[in-house]
Structure 1
Amino acid sequence: MVALSVVAKALRPRCLLAWLLCLGAVHGAGPESDVPFIVVLGIAQDAGYPQAACAKACCADAWADPNRRRHAASLALVDPQSGRRWLFDATPDFKMQLRTLDRVAPPKSAPDLAGIFLTHGHIGHYSGLLHLGREVMGGRKVPVFAMPRMVRFLSGNGPWDQLVRLKDIVLQPLADGQKVELTENLSVTPFMVPHRDEYTETVGYFIEGPNRAALFIPDIDKWEKWETPIERWLAKVDVAYLDATFFAEGEIPGRNMNEIPHPFIVESMDRFAKLSPEQRGKVRFIHLNHTNPAIRPDGDARRQIERRGFAVAEERERRSL
C-alpha cells in the first residue's frame, strides 16, 4: 500500500481532507471500529447533478465526466456492532446509494435496512421508496419514519399506499422533538423547520451517538424564518449538514428565487462569520443545486467557502458518533 505521506504530498490540501474522510480517517471511524458512524450518500439537490435536460455550462462537465456526478442529498447511519443501517431520505438515486452503502457497510442480510427517516414530501426526499415495491426489491416491512402529514400522504396516495398495503414498508409516526431510541447509545430526534410544505411538514434531524452528535437539515427556507437559532443547534453537535441549495441571489436567471427560498451559502457564511473557527468548522454544506458553483470541487466558490472556514460535504465521507 502506498504510504499515507506519499499520497498526501500528491494531493491538494482541500482534496486531502475529502480523501481522508472517505477512508474513515477522520474522528477514528476506521473500517474495524465498533463506533456508530454517518456516511454521506449524496450532496446534490433533489434532481442530482447533472440535472435532467440541462445542456448549460453548469452541467457540461458532469455530463462529460462521470466522476463529477453527484447523487441527491442523503445520509446513512450505521451501527457496526449490530449491523443495522438507517437511511435519511429515500432519493431518486436510491439504488446507487444503497449500493454504495453495501460497499461501505455490508449488510448481514440483504437489504437489511433497519429504517428510513424522511424529511419531507419533495421528490428528492421520498420518491426512492418506489424501489421497495414488489416491482423492484419487494421490501419486507421496512420501517419508514415520518411526520403525521407525511404518514397521511403516503397512506392516502398511490403508488405509495400500495407499499403500505403490501407491507413493503411499515410507517412509523414521528412527533416534533420526540426522540427515537435506535439502540442503547444511538438516537434520532426530528424537529420542525419552515419550508414549502405543500404536501407534508418538513423536519431536520438531530442524530446522537455514544460520543458525538450530528445535524441534518437538507431543506429549510431562511434561517431567520426559524424561531430556533441555528447557532443553538451548532453548539450541540460535532458536525452539521446544512441546506446549501443555492450559492447566491441571481443564480437562476429569469426565476424569482423568492418562490424557492433557501439560505444562500453566502448568507449562511455571513451569519456564521462571528462564530469561532471550531463552530464554523462543523458546517458541511449539502443539497447543492446543479446551478450552484460550489458543487464544483475545483471552482472559485468552493475555494471561497474553504477560506472562510466552512466546507462542502463529500460523498462517502464518514463521521463517527
Structure 2
Amino acid sequence: CISGICITHAHLGHYMGLLELGLEVMNTNAIPVYVMPKMKSFLENNAPFTQLLELNNIHLNVLQDNCPVEICKDVSITPFQVPHRNEYSETVGYRIQSSHQSVLYIPDIDSWDGWDTDINELIKESDIALLDGTFYDKTELKNRDVSAIPHPSIRESINFFSALDKTDRKKVNFTHLNHTNNVLREGSEARKDVIQQGFQIAYDGMVISI
C-alpha cells in the first residue's frame, strides 16, 4: 500500500513516473500525490496527466512551503523551496520525519551557496541526506552549456561539506545521478573519491526504513 508520492518539481525525471499509475499500466485508485500549488496546476492542465485525475488514479494533495503534513501514522513530510530552474512549477526538497528518524531529500538545486539555508546544518539535523549529485564535475557534459542546467557538482559539494565530521559525512547519499556521472561505474576514480571522502552513493532499489 502506497501512503503517498511526493513530487519535487516539473522536470522530466520527477513526475513522468505517475503515468505508470494510469489505465494502461497499474490503473490505481486514488493514490495520494503531494504537490505544491503550481505543480498541481501543471498536472491538472496537461495531458496525459489529466486522465489520471479524470479516472481517479491519483488524488492531488496541495502542500505549502515549510508546512508539515502527516501522510501516515508517525510519518510527516515538510516541503521547502530551493533555488532551481522553475520553468513550470516550484522546486522543493523534503524533510521526511518519524519519531525514529529524519530524512532530508534535495535531488535538485542550483547551488548550495546560492541558497539562504545552511545545508551543513540541515545535514547535521538529519539521520540520512539524499542530495543532488547530478554531475561528478562540470567537465563531463560534452557539447552542452552546463551553466544552462545548474547543479552543484559532487566535487563542489564535497568541498562545501568539508567541515562535516565523519559521522555527518556518512549521512550524505548523492542521488539524481546523470548517465554521464562516473560515480555510477564500479571501480571508477570518481566513485573511489566519493567513498574515500566519507560520503555515500544512492542506488536503484534503495529502501530507507523510517
Contact 2:111 2:152 in 1 (8 A): yes
Which entry has the higher C-alpha Rg, 1 or 2? 1
1:210 alignment partner in structure 2: 99
TM-score, length-normalised on structure 1?
A: 0.63
Tell me the distance in 2 between the aligned counterparts of 1:313 and 1:228. Answer: 23
Match of 1:311 among 179, 200, 204: 200
Q: Which runs of 5+ in 2 are unaligned?
A: none
1:115 alignment partner in structure 2: 4
Superposition pairs for residues 22-61 of structure 1, below 5 Å? none
Match of 2:148 among 259, 266, 275: 259
**For 1:121-154, what per-residue CA distance to the aligned partner results, in whole angstroms no more than 9, with x for missing partners?**
1111111111222222222111111000000000
Aligned-pair CA distance for 1:216: 0.8
Q: More helix per residue: 1 or 2? A: 1
**For 1:223-250, what per-residue CA distance to the aligned partner results, in whole angstroms no more than 9, with x for missing partners?**
1121111112112101101000001121
Tell which has more relative contact order, 1 or 2 (C-alpha 8 A, sep 6+). 1
1:280 alignment partner in structure 2: 169
Q: Which runs of 5+ in 1 are unaligned?
A: 1-111
Q: Percent identity?
A: 45
Contact 2:3 2:71 in 1 (8 A): no
1:127 alignment partner in structure 2: 16
Contact 2:67 2:79 in 1 (8 A): yes
Partner AA of 1:314 in structure 2: Y
TM-score, length-normalised on structure 2?
A: 0.95
**Structure 1 residues 276 and 180: CA distance shift in structure 2, 3 A:** same
Aligned-pair CA distance for 1:317: 3.7
Tell me the distance in 1 between the aligned counterparts of 2:187 and 2:17. Answer: 30
2:45 alignment partner in structure 1: 156
Aligned-pair CA distance for 1:170: 1.0
Tell me the distance in 2 between the aligned counterparts of 1:119 and 1:172. Answer: 13
Tell me the distance in 2 between the aligned counterparts of 1:237 and 1:195. Answer: 22
SS in 1 for 2:142: coil
Q: Report how many residues are paired.
A: 210
Contact 2:132 2:175 in 1 (8 A): yes
Aligned-pair CA distance for 1:158: 1.1
Contact 2:77 2:95 in 1 (8 A): yes
Tell me the distance in 2 between the aligned counterparts of 1:297 and 1:261. Answer: 26
Superposition pairs for residues 84-103 of structure 1, below 5 Å? none
**Structure 1 residues 132 and 319: CA distance shift in structure 2, 3 A:** closer
